[in-house]
Amino acid sequence: MPGQANGFDTQTEYRKLPAVDALLQDSAVAVLIDRYGPGAATAAIRTVLNAARQLIAAGNPAPQPDEWPARLAAWLEQAHRPTLRPVLNATGVIIHTNLGRAPLSQAAFDAMLSVAQGYSNLEYDLEQGARGSRYDHARSLLGQLTGAEDALVVNNNAAAIFLALSALCQGRQVLISRGQLVEIGGGFRIPDVLRQSGAQLVEVGTTNRTHLRDFAEAITPQTAAIMRVHSSNFRQIGFVTLPELNELAQLVQRHNQQQPEHPLMLIDDLGSGTLLDTAPYGLAPEPTVPGSLTAGADLVTFSGDKLLGGPQAGLLLGRNELISRARRHPLARALRVDKLTLAALDATLRSYQRGRATEEIPVWRMISVAVDELGARVLGWQNALRAHGVEGHIMPGESAIGGGSLPGETLPTVLLTIAHPQPDQAAAALRHGHPPAVCRIQHDHLCFDPRTILPEQDETLLAAIIAAFNN
């Protein structure tokens, strides 16, 4: 008979499928309607019924009556899951661009929540009872921490560079060493930025060697600035020469004394930007923001969500007259940040002000943690997983700073490794967990680095590993 094969009657199975209205009246489905709304629940029912029809057509029996609420709940949960979700970062890359760069401190989170739940004085002067400026909120604190005369916050460092060039160098020349005409992630190229800003790029020196005299000889009445650009995600070694920032500053000062009618400025794009010295943590020295200003940079730009450890932002610091011009430029409004960014930035900066960056800011907690502490945590991981039938091994490893910060620099760490015959499949199971977890794969082993897992996340990571390996 049609629809029958080996005793399986598709028509009988089709008749077992409930009607849409019948499912909508089910008390268990009513809970889903309250949570997701009647429209979403009805769409879910139709979708799940269609899937069941396809299964029946392939020779499978219809779902049992008591299975429908669970099937609908699973579909609705998947369909309404946010696309942007928290992820456990066990890769050992501290500033992981693909995973959102710097995680925020608890203080930054609390500050964002506080101003998000109601109104705020974003652009209101509480003392005067009149309109204020959002640009005032970070200015004083940044000045105290860095020695800058003035400061301006925009939405990322690329925006900070673009605004500075557009407001201060449009139609004029900017001198940059050929060795610093960089391209960083996402196709951000310094020559392209200059072109779009209206400034004219003048390449100075050679790829590997640029001398102070190369800059001096390239200066003309049309030159607006000398710009130093951080190499971000690569290093030049060997037969390499670049003038120090203070040498460039002295060149600019001499020119301005001799030709005040054609003033120059020195712009230092630090890229990542740090307020703390990196050398005490076993890392190569990284130019600090206060150091650049002390050396004589007129304008410094850097990111908020890299070594600073705060929210995504671009910070411009320097001479009051230059910052004021940038603040008045029409682009400043298009690139401005919102109240949540300013709240998180303020809280992050106050951790530095209190001298507690390495205790409160996750990036610096990860950089400064001792290897012995990491080893003790990994031993605890190993014992906890063994109790659930997951065998891990402990081995030394290296953590990376990442995010275009301190290229090539690593920190010693201790890894937990788990062998698996299909490591890619196991890694995929971790990524599909709740919450997702991301690790490294080396020689058919999944490697978990405790440096980028904060201690308060240990139990969550272990639960994710157990769920992935015991399924």
For residue 408, what pLDDT is reported?
77
CB neighbour burial string for 3-41, b if at least 16 within 10 angstroms, e if fewer? eeeeeeebeebeeebbeeeebbebeebeebbeebeeebb
For residue 9, what pLDDT is reported?
86
- The parts of the chain modelled with pLDDT lower than 50 are 1-2
For residue 70, what pLDDT is reported?
94
Q: Residue 258 corresponds to which tokens in the numbers above?
A: 């001799």
For residue 388, what pLDDT is reported?
95
Q: Which amino acid is at 169?
A: C
What percentage of the chain's residues is helix, strand, coil (to nearest 5)? 45, 20, 35
For residue 4, what pLDDT is reported?
54
| Strand partners for 151 | 317
For residue 235, what pLDDT is reported?
67
Residue with tokens 């199975």: 13
77's enclosing H/E stretch is helix 68-79
Cis peptide before 263 (omega within 30 of 0): no
For residue 207, what pLDDT is reported?
80
| Strand partners for 299 | 267, 318
For residue 1, what pLDDT is reported?
42
Sign of CA dihedral 296, 301, 305, 310: positive
For residue 2, what pLDDT is reported?
47
Residues 247, 253, 258, 263, Cα dihedral to 10° = 120
Largest CA distance in the chain: 103
Task: Please provide the DSSP assignment of 104-164 as one string.
Answer: PPHHHHHHHHHHHSS---TTEETTTTEE--TTHHHHHHHHHHH--SEEEEESSHHHHHHHH
For residue 187, what pLDDT is reported?
65
For residue 449, what pLDDT is reported?
98
For residue 53, what pLDDT is reported?
95
For residue 230, what pLDDT is reported?
82
